Structure 1
Amino acid sequence: MVFGAGKASNSVQWDEDSVEYMAANPVRIAFVLVVHGRASRQLQRMFKAIYHKDHFYYIHVDKRSSYLHRQVLQCASQYPNVRVTSWRMATIWGGASLLSTYLQSMRDLMEMKDWPWDFFINLSAADYPIRYRDQPF
């Protein structure tokens, strides 16, 4: 048997006879949220469902969505683990601009030494989790 085989991280420990596990060190996720339009309620609903104090949230608002950008800035100021990109791009779903947005977001996250994240997940305001935030994977 290889130590750690089948696990994403050696900090995750579990009993071989059980599907339940206990994290020795909690996994910290950096969520990158790419949002646009006027879907502020949809974004708030998704954010409420995924928010956890141990995770990090980096939000990019499309350059053409000024109203949503103002709302996101106001909301982000209430949380120490939420930031909004200082730059904005006009993105097109499935286009190179969306890929550029994610790549720049990853560069930014790699430079944030005060955010010790383990995994990166990209989401849009249209995404919604299928499990509760405290439910094990």
Structure 2
Amino acid sequence: MRKNAHPHSGRAFTERRWILPFFASLLISLTLFLATLFGIFSSPSDGDPLSLDFISFSPMEDSSDYFVESDLKISFDQAGRSNMEAPRIAYLISGTKGDTQRMRRTLQAVYHPRNQYILHLDLEAPPRERIELTTTIKSDPTFREVKNVRVMEQSNLVTYKGPTMIACTLQAVAIMLRESIDWDWFVNLSASDYPLVTQDDLLHVFANLSRDLNFIEHTPIAGWKLNQRAKPIIIDPGLYLSKKSDIFLTTQRRSLPTSFKLFTGNLQLSIFSIACVHISL
């Protein structure tokens, strides 16, 4: 009969033998874990919770606060920021025949109440366009209230790259100085210019600059430029004619000056030329 017993009965009894040790080990481990947990957060003598020391991950204090130089730097920075004020820029916007609409467009694009503006429509433009430009400026409610836009009464015949172009710019500067001296930089624009940045951004950038800085692009004339640019005599027809024509050179040549040095450069301020784009319509 024993030989005919089921062969898996002994194996099943053997496999169930691990259950009792497993539960005993689990009970002991759980007891030790709970004892350790309550032992950490409670004192064995009076049961008061222990104050645990946690590592702070907040940023450490800057060691520069312990030095006198840092305090001086902070005070200087605060003083500089408190005295910082947006600059005031004077603009000359020039145009010729058919530029009335584009001059108004450029004026609207670069307008800011802090700035000063003067418009010049040269002598080639008919009186109708000059009257239209003046009427538009006077009828604008913003310009009429702020009173920072004016139109030059005297119209000059301006020749590109000629002395009349410089003379017109100097005349505009003189008028601006006579009307108001409350501006820091002078910018010469044409009706074909259009800004790439807003006036608020431009004034914000220049607020950090010294008012003694100038941005006129110039280089000394030397070498071959002395013969090609310094000695030729240029005739500007705008000085004595009533119709515009190009400048021309004479056959005579002049000697170089000895009391001053000659420079060549750009009529417009170089840094403001970067902030504007020339549009041909």
* Alignment TM class, shorter chain as reference: 0.7 to 0.9
Partner of residue 132 from structure 1, selected from 186, 198, 205 = 198
1:68 alignment partner in structure 2: 129
Number of aligned residues? 117
Moved more, 60-69 or 123-132: 60-69
Matched AA of 1:60: H
TM-score normalised by length of structure 2 = 0.39
Gaps of 5+ in 2: 1-79, 206-281
1:40 alignment partner in structure 2: 100
How far apart in 2 are the matches of 1:45 and 1:62? 17
Contact 2:92 2:117 in 1 (8 A): yes
Q: Secondary structure at the match of 2:175?
A: helix
Question: Is residue 115 of structure 2 the alignment partner of residue 49 of structure 1?
Answer: no
Matched AA of 2:95: V
Moved more, 36-45 or 96-105: 36-45
TM-score normalised by length of structure 1 = 0.76
Contact 2:91 2:189 in 1 (8 A): yes
Moved more, 90-99 or 65-74: 65-74
Q: Secondary structure at the match of 2:176?
A: helix
Partner of residue 108 from structure 1, selected from 175, 178, 183 = 175
- Greater share of helix: 2
How far apart in 2 are the matches of 1:85 and 1:107? 11
Deviation of the 1:126 alpha carbon: 0.7
Greater C-alpha radius of gyration = 2
Matched AA of 2:200: D
How far apart in 1 are the matches of 2:136 and 2:184? 24
How far apart in 2 are the matches of 1:60 and 1:45? 14
Q: Secondary structure at the match of 1:42?
A: helix
Cα deviation, 1:43-84, whole Å, max 9, x if unaligned, reads 222111101111110111101212321122112213111011
Contact 1:38 1:67 in 2 (8 A): no
Instruction: Give the alignment's Cα RMSD to 1 decimal.
Output: 1.9
| Higher relative contact order, structure no. (Cα contacts within 8 Å, ≥ 6 residues apart) | 1
